[in-house]
Structure 1
Amino acid sequence: MKSLRTLLTIALSLTATVALAVGPSPAPMKQKEVLSVGFVKVGHLAPMLMLEEELKKLNIEVKRAEFVRYADARTALLSGSVDVSAVGPGDLAIVAAQGSKNLIGLTGVGSSNKFLVVRKGVKIDEWGDINGKKIAIAPGSAVWFQWAMTLIEKNIPYTSFSPVNVQGGGTAFVQAMKRGDIDAMVLWEPFESQAVAEGDAYFATKLDYSQSRSVGAELGMLAASGEAMATKKELVRRFLWAYLKVEEQLAKNNDQFADAYSKYTGLPLNVTKESAKIIKLGGVLNKEQVGRLAEAAFKQGIVQKDVTKEAAELYDDSMAKEIKK
């Protein structure tokens, strides 16, 4: 006979599973509506691939806007040129520091380990091995913030390596590595796995910079403009339901995730299959983490005033929690 503790553990496990399941579809809108959606072509946002099809069933037409960077999506949300989009978790601190409330975080989208990507032939096995190495970074990016805060928490001087600032998308990093211009790079998927899959690099698995207390492992955040939350809340709710439904489906099937990832980003399936093994779909962000991000951003001079409280107040995942019954 199972012990009481075992039965209780099973019961709690089942309860947690039920609590995380996406609830039934909301009713279609009574008349056709239009929602402007920002698309950022990165793997952890692969659920976006099937978003339009799902929203069409709910009588919502999607007006697309594509962005290369989270920063561009953030600007579009603040200006009201898009209603919803994905942005970086740290963007709430930037928005709050600007004195704006026109961007509301809704939920995280996924997490993964972040290993330094090292050029073949270069030896970086331990943190001490980064001394003097040329490491490509994208200053101000979400992954750069993860990297910088990890170094601080490990008491490793930022000056211990030679930073190479790379502008533009991830392709520029991959090309720099192919040319041998850099020894390693702090990057995002799918470009990390692309460099590894093409034989130019390897993951330094002992150098994981995703676990800093200040930044955490969250890869992105779905957000709505304040205006959309005020005037199109039911459309935003249906957008969020559709995204979470597809996310739940892809999270259960890694092959399906890799296929959607490939179609969404345009990358070869052999690349996305490797990248999909690393990414865990489903947000890990919460108000407390947003607050820690904002505090760290202030201490490091990324924002010029302490907006820990204000940034946390801009994160409202109550709608996502209602959808996940």
Structure 2
Amino acid sequence: MKIQHRVLSIALLAAYAGGAFAVGPQPAPSPRKETLTIGYVKVGHLSPMMDVAEPLKACNVEVKPVEFVRYADARTALLSGSVDVSGIGPADLAIALSQGSDRIVGLSGVASSPKYLVVKKGVKLEDWADLKGKRIGIAPGSAVWFQWAATLTEKNIPYTSFTAVNIQGGGTAFVQALERGDVDAVAVWEPFESQLVAKNTAFFARKIEYSQSKAVGAELGLLAATREALKNKPEALKCFMWAYKSAEEKMAKDPEGFAQAYAKYTGLPIEVTRESVKLIKLGGVLDLPQLQRQAKTFNTLGIIPKDVSGTVNTVWDPSLAEAVMKR
């Protein structure tokens, strides 16, 4: 049975990666009226969130939305039980486990994209060798930083070969820092990468690609729920997963529709989101082996205090995502 379960997971992952989405019929409604408190993290690859509330009504589920700017805030809300389900960062399961909590359970990845260093126009920074002596804006502890640090480690590039400039706050702070000339380049996330490039302020250094490390990979985030919600509201969460995957499927097949939804969800100009969706591929690519590699690497890098790669399987359950997909 475990072998069959793993084969199914791999098959679904391959379908996501190839864009061959196959969402099944709407699940049966919850037998009683339920309320799901859902965390809405305002990042473009979670735009399908804006289309879940209406179909959930047909499942006898009312949505109570809570907005977050950062994954870290959504993780904290899940840990406290103030939300039932939310998007969080790929590293957040390992972070929570290392802090002694198994309350958050990952359900599905959400999207992937290539990650290129974004370089200020006029700066010579086109290959890894050009990093030496440059000022690179980073968000320490962010999902993007995990990708960046892991790639440097695998390429044996010393972190001291450049000047790391820690930037606090959201992506707008990165845009401002680059435009002011405080940094030569930034390791940032969408849509702020595309915003800088669309404004002709910067360019993608396409030879400095950092999303393909063996340790961290290209996943941009994941859907996660509290263990309590999985136990007490299983029908509501199954309907949520179906609604999310249905919206995800629709947007993945319609780039302009995705860009419009992205603009509405985040409040960004459509000309920025149209550029951003060229990079983002909806549909999760995360699986348990990747989570295990991440957990081990985060401990090696000193990001989390202990290696939880041996127990991260206890907080990963893709069965809901599998249940709403066509076989």
Q: TM-score category by the smaller chain?
A: over 0.9
Cα distance, 1:18–1:37 mapped onto 2, change above 3 Å:
closer
Residue number in structure 2 paired with 1:23: 24
TM-aligned CA deviation for residue 18 of structure 1: 11
Distance (whole Å) between structure 2 residues aligned to residue 140 and residue 312 of structure 1: 22
TM-aligned CA deviation for residue 305 of structure 1: 1.1
Instruction: Look up the equivalent residue of 1:91 and give its one-letter code.
Output: D
For residues 253-292 of structure 1, the aligned pairs below 5 Å read 253-292=254-293
Instruction: Look up the equivalent residue of 2:265 and give its one-letter code.
Output: Y
Residue number in structure 1 paired with 2:37: 36
Residue number in structure 2 paired with 1:78: 79
8 Å CA contact 1:55–1:62 kept in 2: the answer is: yes
Q: Deviations over 1:257-291 (max 9, x none)?
A: 11111111110110000000000000000000000
SS of the residue corresponding to residue 29 of structure 2 reads coil
8 Å CA contact 1:288–1:312 kept in 2: the answer is: no
Q: Deviations over 1:282-305 (max 9, x none)?
A: 000000000000000111111111
Scaled by the length of structure 1, the TM-score of the pair is 0.93
Report whether the alignment pairs 1:90 with 2:57: no
**What is the aligned-residue RMSD (CA, Å)?**
1.6
TM-aligned CA deviation for residue 318 of structure 1: 1.4
Residue number in structure 2 paired with 1:168: 169
For residues 301-316 of structure 1, the aligned pairs below 5 Å read 301-316=302-317
Give the stretch that moved more between structures: 299-308 or 211-220: 299-308
Residue number in structure 2 paired with 1:201: 202
TM-aligned CA deviation for residue 98 of structure 1: 1.5
Residue number in structure 1 paired with 2:324: 323
Distance (whole Å) between structure 1 residues aligned to residue 58 and residue 162 of structure 2: 52
Distance (whole Å) between structure 1 residues aligned to residue 251 and residue 89 of structure 2: 21
Instruction: Look up the equivalent residue of 1:74 and give its one-letter code.
Output: R
SS of the residue corresponding to residue 208 of structure 2 reads strand
Cα distance, 1:124–1:90 mapped onto 2, change above 3 Å:
same
Distance (whole Å) between structure 1 residues aligned to residue 200 and residue 268 of structure 2: 16
TM-aligned CA deviation for residue 20 of structure 1: 4.2
Instruction: Look up the equivalent residue of 1:67 and give its one-letter code.
Output: F
Residue number in structure 2 paired with 1:3: none
Residue number in structure 2 paired with 1:6: none
8 Å CA contact 2:19–2:283 kept in 1: the answer is: no
Residue number in structure 1 paired with 2:4: none
Distance (whole Å) between structure 1 residues aligned to residue 300 and residue 93 of structure 2: 16
Report whether the alignment pairs 1:46 with 2:47: yes
Report whether the alignment pairs 1:129 with 2:130: yes
Residue number in structure 2 paired with 1:237: 238
Distance (whole Å) between structure 1 residues aligned to residue 33 and residue 227 of structure 2: 22
Cα distance, 1:70–1:18 mapped onto 2, change above 3 Å:
closer
Report whether the alignment pairs 1:146 with 2:137: no
Which has more radius of gyration?
1
8 Å CA contact 1:177–1:184 kept in 2: the answer is: yes
Distance (whole Å) between structure 1 residues aligned to residue 197 and residue 58 of structure 2: 39
TM-aligned CA deviation for residue 232 of structure 1: 1.1
Instruction: Look up the equivalent residue of 2:42 and give its one-letter code.
Output: K
Distance (whole Å) between structure 1 residues aligned to residue 31 and residue 20 of structure 2: 29
Q: Deviations over 1:104-162 (max 9, x none)?
A: 00000000000000011111111011111111000000100100000010010000110
Scaled by the length of structure 2, the TM-score of the pair is 0.93
SS of the residue corresponding to residue 100 of structure 2 reads coil
Distance (whole Å) between structure 2 residues aligned to residue 136 and residue 128 of structure 1: 17
TM-aligned CA deviation for residue 56 of structure 1: 2.0
Give the stretch that moved more between structures: 73-82 or 229-238: 229-238
Give the stretch that moved more between structures: 83-92 or 307-316: 307-316
8 Å CA contact 1:19–1:324 kept in 2: the answer is: no
8 Å CA contact 1:217–1:284 kept in 2: the answer is: yes
TM-aligned CA deviation for residue 256 of structure 1: 0.7
Residue number in structure 2 paired with 1:187: 188
Cα distance, 1:18–1:218 mapped onto 2, change above 3 Å:
closer
SS of the residue corresponding to residue 286 of structure 2 reads coil
SS of the residue corresponding to residue 309 of structure 1 reads coil
Distance (whole Å) between structure 2 residues aligned to residue 181 and residue 228 of structure 1: 45
Instruction: Look up the equivalent residue of 1:125 and give its one-letter code.
Output: E
Distance (whole Å) between structure 2 residues aligned to residue 53 and residue 167 of structure 1: 36
TM-aligned CA deviation for residue 45 of structure 1: 0.5
TM-aligned CA deviation for residue 33 of structure 1: 1.7
Distance (whole Å) between structure 1 residues aligned to residue 130 and residue 19 of structure 2: 46
SS of the residue corresponding to residue 291 of structure 2 reads helix
TM-aligned CA deviation for residue 57 of structure 1: 2.4
SS of the residue corresponding to residue 164 of structure 2 reads strand
Report whether the alignment pairs 1:116 with 2:117: yes
Cα distance, 1:80–1:120 mapped onto 2, change above 3 Å:
same
Q: Deviations over 1:40-84 (max 9, x none)?
A: 111100101211122122221111111111111001001000000
TM-aligned CA deviation for residue 252 of structure 1: 0.6
